[in-house]
Amino acid sequence: MIKIAAFSDAHFPKLVGIKGLKVLRNSVNNIDPDYVVIAGDLTEGEKESFEIFLKEFEEIDCPKLICLGNHDLWVQSFEEITSLEKMEEFIEMGESFGYHMLDNKPFLEKDIGFAGTVGWYDYSFADPQFPIKDIENKILFYKGDTFAASWWNDRFYFRLKKRNPLMEMTFTEDDNFFVDSLKIPRSSREEDTYFTKLCYKHLNKSINKIKDAKIKIAVIHHLPFKELLNIGREKTIESLFFNAYMGSKCFGELMIEKKVDIC
């Protein structure tokens, strides 16, 4: 029997602190796994945090495989790089610590193969009750007696082009909603579509390279099937709106086409 220890979304150090990270490492180690799979959002995109995370799990004695998450690709306002450059940095760091980075290449050993990608979203999971303009802007407005707004943070921190890091928001009482300044950096539908296609192409190529494995496993941070939406999550107006950013059906269709065994 093959034992795989898999987890994701530690969001170190925001969600899981250093003590929690050590508990997680010990739990994984106690399983005595044949493989460790970490499926994204190890950090909030900070290079120092990523290095600490890698060092914490470095001594686990088995192949350790990572695919990155959207938070790992976040670029802060003071960073003069793109999210793709952040991905390249993290891939290089991971490999220097002995990890196998699935966003770079697949992993094949004996009869088992792993193909992976951060994945992304093209709004194919979007709930039709929300205007497409709001989904593209990644902002949900609540209109009623009080005003509130929620936004998907990839809007501000994921970028494929270098741009002015200044962010400004203004509030107009007459309209009772936020008005975007031209200075607001935001990802666009074009960027999301492009990056989704890039991840799809990588996953397709990776699966083809492990096609002869008896067990083919796909590792992806974003969801590949609509049926997985809202599992274990309360259905609120926010969660339904945010479904648009949970993944894309194209990845699930690819896995079915390529007859992936586990994802």
200: Cβ contacts below 8 Å, ≥ 6 apart: 117, 248, 250, 251, 254
Query: Could you tell me if 210 and 109 are in contact, meaning their C-beta atoms sit under 8 angstroms apart?
Result: no
- Per-residue pLDDT of the chain (263 residues), as tens digits, is 899 999 999 999 999 999 999 999 999 999 999 999 999 999 999 999 999 999 999 999 999 999 999 999 999 877 889 999 999 999 999 999 999 999 999 999 989 999 999 999 999 999 999 999 999 999 988 765 555 788 999 999 999 987 554 444 444 444 443 444 333 446 688 999 999 999 999 999 999 999 999 999 999 999 999 999 988 778 888 899 999 999 999 999 999 999 999 99
Task: Produce one character per residue of 123-137: b if its CB has 16 or more CB atoms within 10 Å, e if not.
Answer: bbbbeeeeeeeebbb
Neighbouring C-beta atoms of residue 224, cutoff 10 Å: 23
Burial (CB count <10 Å: 0-12, 13-18, 19+), residue 244: buried
Output phi, psi for 131, to 5 deg: -60, 140
What is the number of H-type helices and E-type strands within the chain?
Answer: 8, 11
Q: Three-state DSSP class for 88?
A: helix
Own/partner pairs, 88-91, CB within 8 angstroms, 24+ separation: 89/47, 90/47, 90/50
DSSP 165: -
pTM of the model: 0.89
For residue 136 the two structure tokens come to: 């593209």
Predicted local distance difference test score (pLDDT) of residue 75: 94
Domains and CATH numbers, the chain: 4-123+188-257 (3.60.21.10)
Q: Does the CA dihedral 223-124-46-67 come out positive or negative?
A: positive
